[in-house]
Structure 1
C-alpha cells in the first residue's frame, strides 16, 4: 500500500536563482516522481506534496547542496 501524500513546508537556504528552483525541484522529484513542488524563492521556502517523509526530502536537498529543514510535517 502506497503512503498517503503529506503536505510539507521546507525552509531551504542557499536558493538564489531559477537554476536553484530547477535543482531543488529535480532533487525532490528524483526522490518521489509523483511529488508536486512549489518553490518560493523570495522567502526560501518549498511547499511539497509528497509520499516521502520530511527527513528524506531534507536529505535529498542537502545532497543537492542546499541546507533544508522541515517547517511542517
Structure 2
C-alpha cells in the first residue's frame, strides 16, 4: 500500500442492486482512478483503498444519491 493511501470502510445506505454497487464503484473511481474498491452489497459496506479522505469519499457518494458514513479513516 502506498504511504499516501489509506484503507477506509464506509457504510453506504441505499444500495439495493448490482447496478447500485457499480454506480458506487464508478463514483469512487472517478474521484480517485487508482483506488481499490470492494462493495459488500449484502451489508451495505464499501471498502476503499484510496489517497482521498473519508469525508471526501462520503461526499462523492452522497452526490451519487447514497447516504455514506465513514466507519474508519
TM-score (norm 1): 0.95
Q: For residue 8 of structure 1, what is the aligned residue in structure 2? A: 8
Q: Which runs of 4+ in 1 moved over 3 A?
A: none
The whole-number CA distance in structure 1 between the counterparts of 2:18 and 2:10 is: 18
Gaps of 5+ in 1: none
> What is the alpha-carbon root mean square deviation over aligned residues?
1.3
Gaps of 5+ in 2: none
TM-score (norm 2): 0.95
The whole-number CA distance in structure 2 between the counterparts of 1:43 and 1:18 is: 13
